[in-house]
């Protein structure tokens, strides 16, 4: 543990305060024994606000939604068409009929845009680079674990030290470690056979799941199957519209190709278009700033999330086009988007998916009597295009810009408490890396008021901008261009402690390796999709892959083969998450290995868990973290100020239809389900419901 030294004592601060009060006649009058009121010196909110602005923070309502320049090529040119697209997107996102066996997109994003379930949420190292180590469940810290296990407080964090704050890697004593991931359950294992129009359940042939089965590793009985679980923790969809790319590894490409997740990494992806006579042809499309559309079309065909194995997307379209939208679920009559379409005495909507598509999209993408090869209609064949763009249009409305922090940045000095102001300065303080002058001024004033030194959280180095993530457009923008590849100093170990090296490396901006897990557990941004590297850096360095960067990167930060650093910092790097509403979106990190924000802060205080193993790839910003014990709780308190109460109360635009999410159980027994009640624009309070809580209902402060 680092020595904690208070440079300014509380007594000295009090003495200074009393002297000032004496000079200005503040407290000593003719009768010393009269009523004496002493007020703690205040942290100056104006100076803190100036420090935040100088560091690039601001209210989120100062940020524009990224513009999709060619959206008009696909949507009809009217306000009604845009509204129809949003209605279509919200219905598709929440519809349980979209999955093979009742899974909606929202099944993993129903709680503040994320997932707070605790049962059957463990996934056993499916991203390990060694196939022999995939699919092996570990015993948890409390002695449980395995398929259908109910996580508990004692299972966290997933990496436990004898001294949780020990930052010398040579002196650490590890008490517990697991490569299991806390994530989200999806479908039961089955091979897709087909659909029956009008039936929400797909036809499939179930098989014994060798991993997600209560008898793992000796699974023989289909009836002992449990739902399959994704290999990474579920991020929130709220404010995701501001990200240049989505998913933890960024594979949801900024350029939507109309068909699949990975944009230009899928060069064969084409949509169908009808000419004025109804003749059909295939075309390649690139729709910029549409990572949310790319992301949306992934889960419906994922055999870990919503789909039986090998289900084609056009058949998802055929099924949904034959069904009443949200036909299994109630829709609140005051739903901010779907209320006017709600079947008030029944489930679902008083419209069809076919009608919503026709209202929203130009006819050339759906209007033809000709069939494409395979016997699909044009509307069925282009269902990925409609699904992706419509869900993106809906998720574009999910912006939480009314947190206490936003009020504070608008001039409301009382919006943040004294502890939260203190925590904000810890967040901004970059320590030895150096601060903007306004930050140093605010820190000096606050240290005088607190009578203690303010530690360096250095959080701002990765969680910048009003979105609180360097993966967002605000932080990536360099003038008119985007700085998607960056040259950075690297990190070394010096006597077991992290230090900055004079060697430089290349990284994908907005992605960071902070030593959550060894790189071999999950390569993250260093992975491969569609036979191509995900990393822009690797695409740049290989001239044969430069075509993947057309329309993505205008210029390179160095000349490959001439002056580019040899070291790459992409393996084990993950997209830096935004911090808004982080109070409600636990567990944390890509492995879901921390249950509370206090555990997250302890992780950073010790400068990560696997910085020694990942040293050649580690983000240098971990070096500059130097927290004091007294700073940790205020930092957590500041993070709580990023919660928009509309999210906690599910008020518009965060209201939603009814949903039933699985909560454990096996294939041959009655599953447990949680009902997520339909909520209208006025939110949970108006519906007589408690506000959203934290993961496992845990307190974030000790």
The reply to whether 286 falls in a domain is: yes
Q: Considering only CA atoms, which of 680, 588, 687, 572 is closest in space to residue 636?
A: 588
Give the count of beta carbons closer than 10 Å to the beta carbon of residue 472.
Answer: 25
Whether the bond into 587 is cis, omega within 30 of 0: yes
DSSP 319-351: HHHTS-TTTTS---TT-TTTGGGB-TTSSSBSS
Alpha-carbon gap, residue 129 to 115, rounded angstroms: 26
Alpha-carbon gap, residue 454 to 191, rounded angstroms: 57
Alpha-carbon gap, residue 514 to 159, rounded angstroms: 14
Here the tokens at position 614 are: 């990942």
Return the pLDDT at 596. Answer: 99
Rounded to whole angstroms, the maximal C-alpha distance in the chain is 98
Distances in Å between the Cα of 32 and the Cα atoms of 24, 27, 89 are 16, 9, 70
Alpha-carbon gap, residue 394 to 401, rounded angstroms: 16
Return the pLDDT at 40. Answer: 67
How does pLDDT run across 362-406, given as a tens digit for each residue?
Answer: 999 999 999 999 999 999 999 999 999 999 999 999 999 999 999
CA distance from start to end of the chain? 19
- Give the residues of the chain that fall short of pLDDT 70: 1-40
Q: What residue numbers bound the domain in which 252 lies?
A: 71-113+237-395
How does pLDDT run across 86-101, given as a tens digit for each residue?
Answer: 999 999 999 999 999 9
Place of tokens 């806390």: 182
Here the tokens at position 288 are: 């910029």
Here the tokens at position 179 are: 């490569």
Alpha-carbon gap, residue 136 to 124, rounded angstroms: 5
The reply to whether 93 falls in a domain is: yes
The reply to whether 218 falls in a domain is: no
| Whether the Cβ atoms of residue 485 and residue 194 lie closer than 8 Å to each other | no
How does pLDDT run across 410-436, given as a tens digit for each residue?
Answer: 999 999 999 999 999 999 999 999 999
Alpha-carbon gap, residue 340 to 677, rounded angstroms: 18
Return the pLDDT at 666. Answer: 96
β-bridge partners, 546: none
- Domains in the chain: how many in total? 1
| Whether the Cβ atoms of residue 581 and residue 603 lie closer than 8 Å to each other | no
| Whether the Cβ atoms of residue 114 and residue 235 lie closer than 8 Å to each other | yes
The reply to whether 347 falls in a domain is: yes
Instruction: Provide the 8-state DSSP code for 128.
Output: -
How does pLDDT run across 98-134, given as a tens digit for each residue?
Answer: 999 999 999 999 999 999 999 999 999 999 999 999 9
The reply to whether 346 falls in a domain is: yes
Return the pLDDT at 39. Answer: 62
Distances in Å between the Cα of 249 and the Cα atoms of 124, 235, 253, 304, 529 are 18, 12, 10, 17, 10
The reply to whether 171 falls in a domain is: no
| Whether the Cβ atoms of residue 366 and residue 376 lie closer than 8 Å to each other | no
Alpha-carbon gap, residue 456 to 428, rounded angstroms: 8
* CB-based burial label for 95 (10 Å; 0-12, 13-18, 19+): buried
CATH number, domain of 262, equals 1.10.760
The reply to whether 29 falls in a domain is: no
The reply to whether 463 falls in a domain is: no
Q: Which residues contact 97 (CB under 8 A, 6 or more apart)?
A: 200, 319, 320, 323, 326, 327, 328
Instruction: Provide the 8-state DSSP code for 517.
Output: S
């Amino acid at each position: 543990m680092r020595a904690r030294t208070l440079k300014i004592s509380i007594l000295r601060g009090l003495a200074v305060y009393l002297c000032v009060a004496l000079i200005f006649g503040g407290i000593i009058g003719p009768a010393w024994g009269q009523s004496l009121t002493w007020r703690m010196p205040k942290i100056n909110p104006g100076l803190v606000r100036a420090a935040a602005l100088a560091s690039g923070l601001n209210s989120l309502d100062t940020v524009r939604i990224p513009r999709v320049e060619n959206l008009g090529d696909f949507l009809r040119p009217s306000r009604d068409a845009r509204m129809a697209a949003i209605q279509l997107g919200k219905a598709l996102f929440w519809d349980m009929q979209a999955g093979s066996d009742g899974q909606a997109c929202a099944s993993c994003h129903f709680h503040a845009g994320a997932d707070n379930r605790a049962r059957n949420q463990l996934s056993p190292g499916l991203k390990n680079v060694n196939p022999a180590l995939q699919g092996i469940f570990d015993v948890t810290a409390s002695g449980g674990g395995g398929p259908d296990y109910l996580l508990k407080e004692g299972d966290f964090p997933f990496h436990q030290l004898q001294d949780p704050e020990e930052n010398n890697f040579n002196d650490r004593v590890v008490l517990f470690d697991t490569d299991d991931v806390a994530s989200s359950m999806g479908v039961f294992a089955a091979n897709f056979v087909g659909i029956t129009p009008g039936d929400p359940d797909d036809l499939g042939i179930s098989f014994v799941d060798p991993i997600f089965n209560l008898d793992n590793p000796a699974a023989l009985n289909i009836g002992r199957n449990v739902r399959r679980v994704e290999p990474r923790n579920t991020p929130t969809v709220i404010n995701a519209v501001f990200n240049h790319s989505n998913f933890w590894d960024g594979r949801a490409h900024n350029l939507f190709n109309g068909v699949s997740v990975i944009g230009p990494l899928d060069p064969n992806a084409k949509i169908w278009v009808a000419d004025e006579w109804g003749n059909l042809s295939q075309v390649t499309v690139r729709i910029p700033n549409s990572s949310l559309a790319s992301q949306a079309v992934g889960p419906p065909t994922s055999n870990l999330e919503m789909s039986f194995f090998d289900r084609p997307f056009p058949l998802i379209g055929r099924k949904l086009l034959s069904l009443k939208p949200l036909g299994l679920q109630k829709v609140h009559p005051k739903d901010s988007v779907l209320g006017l379409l709600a079947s008030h005495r029944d489930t679902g909507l008083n419209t069809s998916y076919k009608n919503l598509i026709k209202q929203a999209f130009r006819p050339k993408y759906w209007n033809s009597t000709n069939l494409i090869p395979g016997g699909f209609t044009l509307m069925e064949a282009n269902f990925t295009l409609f699904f992706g763009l419509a869900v993106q249009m809906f998720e574009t409305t999910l912006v939480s810009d009314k947190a206490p922090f936003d009020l504070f940045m608008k001039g409301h000095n009382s919006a943040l408490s004294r502890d939260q102001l203190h925590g904000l300065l810890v967040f901004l303080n970059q320590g030895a890396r150096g601060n903007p002058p306004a930050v140093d001024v605010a820190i000096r004033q606050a240290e005088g008021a607190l009578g203690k030194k303010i530690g360096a959280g250095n959080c701002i180095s990765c969680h910048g901008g009003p979105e609180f993530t360097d993966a967002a457009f605000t932080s990536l923008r360099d003038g008119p261009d985007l700085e998607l590849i960056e040259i950075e100093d690297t990190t070394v170990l010096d006597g077991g402690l992290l230090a900055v090296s004079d060697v430089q490396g290349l990284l994908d901006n907005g992605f960071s390796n902070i030593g959550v897990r060894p790189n071999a557990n999950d390569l993250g941004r260093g992975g491969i999709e569609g036979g191509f590297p995900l990393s822009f850096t690797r695409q740049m360095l290989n001239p044969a892959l430069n075509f993947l960067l057309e329309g993505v990167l205008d210029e390179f930060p160095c000349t490959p083969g001439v002056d580019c650093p040899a070291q790459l910092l992409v393996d084990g790097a993950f997209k830096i998450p935004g911090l808004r509403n982080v109070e409600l979106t636990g567990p944390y990190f890509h492995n879901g290995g921390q249950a509370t924000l206090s555990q997250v802060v302890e992780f950073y205080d010790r400068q990560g868990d696997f910085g020694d193993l990942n040293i050649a790839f580690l983000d240098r910003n971990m070096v500059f973290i130097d927290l004091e014990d007294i700073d940790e709780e205020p930092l957590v308190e500041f993070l709580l100020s990023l919660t928009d109460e509309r999210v906690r109360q599910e008020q518009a635009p965060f209201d939603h239809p009814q949903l039933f999410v699985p909560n454990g159980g096996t294939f041959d027994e009655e599953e447990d389900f949680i009902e997520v009640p339909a909520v209208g624009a006025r939110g949970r309070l108006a519906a007589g419901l408690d506000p959203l809580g934290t993961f496992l209902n845990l307190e974030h402060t000790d």
